Amino acid sequence: MKLPGKSAIVTGGGRDIGAALAKTLAREGASVAISHFQSASGADAVVSEIEEAGGNAVAVQADLNIQAVVNALVATTVDAFGGVDILVNNAGGLVARKTIAEMDLANWQHVMDLNLTSTFMMTKAYLAHMGRGAIVNIASQAGRDGGGAGAVAYAT
> Among residues 8, 55, 154, 155, which one is catalytic?
154
Catalytic: 154? yes
pLDDT of 47: 98
Residue 150 to residues 57, 105, 127, 155, Cα–Cα distance (Å) = 37, 15, 35, 9
Kindly tell me if the per-residue pLDDT of 131 is higher than 90.
no
pLDDT of 56: 98
* Candidate from 48-62, 110-124, 141-155 with smallest mean pLDDT: 141-155
Cβ neighbors of 139 (< 8 A, separation 6 or more) are none
Instruction: Measure the CA–CA gap between 23 and 67, rounded to whole angstroms.
Output: 26
Q: Residues 50-108: pLDDT tens digits?
A: 999 999 999 999 999 999 999 999 999 999 999 999 999 999 999 999 999 999 999 99
pLDDT of 132: 87
Query: Domain 7-155 classified CATH 3.40.50.720?
Result: yes
* Nearest alpha-carbon partner for 119 in 93, 145, 147: 93
In what order do the strands lie in the sheet containing 7-10? 57-61, 31-36, 7-10, 86-89, 134-137
Give residue limits of the domains in the chain: 7-155
